[in-house]
Amino acid sequence: MRKALRKAFPDHWSFLLGEIAMYSFLIIVLTGVYLTLFFVPSMNEVVYDGSYGPLRGVRMSEAYASTLHITFDVRGGLLMRQIHHWSTNIFLAAIVIHLLRNFFTGAFRKPRELNWLIGIVLFMLVMVNGLFGYSLPDDLLSGTGLRILEGVIASIPVVGSYALMFLFGGEFPGTEIIPRLYVIHILLIPGILLALIPLHAVVLTWRQTHTQFPGKGSTNTTVRGYPFFPVFIAKTTAFFLWVFAATALLATFFQINPIWLFGPYDPGAISSGSQPDWYMGWLEGSLRMMPAWEINAWGHTVPMSVLIPALGVPGVLFTGLAVYPFLERWVTGDNRVHHLLDRPRDVPARTGIGAGGVVFYGVLWAGGGNDVIADHFDIPLFWTTWFFRFAIVLGPILAYIAAYRICLGLQRRDLGLARHGLETGVIRRLPNGEYIEVEVPLGEERLAPVTDARPPAAVALERPDTEGVTAPAARTRLGRLRIALNRRFLRDLGSPPTPESADKHKAIGP
């Protein structure tokens, strides 16, 4: 216990991104428990006779009527609904930013591959649970989302119709989907999350050395930070209160999901400019920008315009995230344990890949609002659609090139600071008539992240041929591909420079 309480935690702000996700989940659970006391997960029709006048006398499901009751008649109900909804958005945003931080710094490397995979599973589960959660009120907007889900399931060859009948309990919309989503949303997925989040955030991280950025006193075998008790426990408690305060502030002053304006779900109606929550926008965008392709064979139709964006794109994205740590290890030949993080600028190839992935996701997300963009800027809808079709291909390539060049520029800047010091703008004339700019050498603390030794991010796999004999690693196509990728990854890898002597600075004065 004494050893656990003295465990060192790094002090960098980026280590608290995962804390935001964990605290948001706690807020979601607490507010969700409150909402379950009043929500009725039933699709039985009733006539609304509550406080909201514009819908009084309208036929609707009990689920929608109970949501209106929570909103207008339960003390604090609207605030709890909005805190619950905002927490979900913050939860997923924190997961995405935490994932990007781990990717760009190489925190997924040995021995943390398992934790990375658990994080990907958590991301998928939370995204699906968010979709099911905002489908429960059975309003027009959420019903439109369920209609899209129904179309995606129906498009799956062979088993689609069977899966559809099993999920909805009959023809869409049926009478069973809300109760089933309710059980999944409050019981099944939260139960899995309650098992995986402590494993991801506490058990595995506690058994391993914390990752940290290069710097003075930070090595691959030591951690520079503060003890869990009393410093980190006080800091993290205060941070939880800040997260809760920010969420409550958003819920109080910024309206979200006003289901009373949408009305009850009607399969024959759809509202203009319908948009899902941000974390589902990228799937909406992939559906909107996909051409109307289909395959007709042997009396069957396979709608590629639905299968590719709804199943293919998420499959590529999440599978790529899951296998990347193992793919990078195969390319780099790096099997060492890493507790010291990479600065993104020092690994331009990985940073470029990450930037391309961010742009790919961002273009899909923006494409989900192509109709809103066309309306606000008064341009044809087809222009925005074709723009996003080109951007989804060219955007990641351009992002890779731009990020790679930025990394090289930052590396050269660090090299100049290490060798010459910081420019002051002061010009001096030497006795021989030469004009120079006075440069101030940086201290050890500021130079340490640049100059301190650290394990390289990759090792060279290529071995030169011996007396005309081809190296074993290059005798197969796969081996030649691996060597080519390894050569590309190694190119422009940042390495710690050696600061030159500061005698010149001392000679001319500060």
Q: Which residue has the higher pLDDT, 465 or 313?
A: 313
- The highest-confidence range among 53-67, 191-205, 226-240, by mean pLDDT, is 53-67
- On whether the CB atoms of residues 498 and 451 are closer than 8 A, the answer is yes
Q: What is the pTM of this model?
A: 0.89
Domain boundaries along the sequence of the chain: 17-213+224-283+302-340, 404-501
CA 271 to each of CA 166, 259, 333, 432: distance values in angstroms, whole numbers, following the listed order: 28, 12, 54, 79
User: What is the band of 497 on the pLDDT scale with cuts at 50, 70, 90?
Assistant: low
Of 433, 485, 439, 436, the C-alpha closest to 458 is 485
The Cβ of residue 75 has, within 10 Å, a number of other Cβ atoms equal to: 7
Scored b (16 or more CB within 10 A) or e, 133-151 reads bbbbbbbbbbbbbbebbbb
Residue 349's pLDDT is 94
Q: Are 508 and 496 in contact (CB under 8 A)?
A: no
**Residue 155 reports pLDDT greater than 60:** yes
The CATH number of 17-213+224-283+302-340, from 1.10.287.130, 3.60.15.10, 1.10.150.130, 1.20.810.10, is 1.20.810.10
Contact (CB, 8 A) for 63 and 136: yes
Per-residue pLDDT, averaged over 325-341, amounts to 91
Contacts of 81 (CB under 8 A, 6+ apart): 35, 67, 70, 71, 257
CA distance 444 to 458: 26
Q: What is the pLDDT of residue 182?
A: 94
pLDDT value at residue 505: 39
What is the predicted pLDDT for the residue at 499?
47
Q: Which amino acid is at 185?
A: H
Choose among 105, 233, 125: nearest CA to 189: 125
Evaluate if residue 451 carries a pLDDT over 50: yes
Average per-residue pLDDT for the chain: 87
How far is 408 from 413, CA to CA, in rounded Å? 9
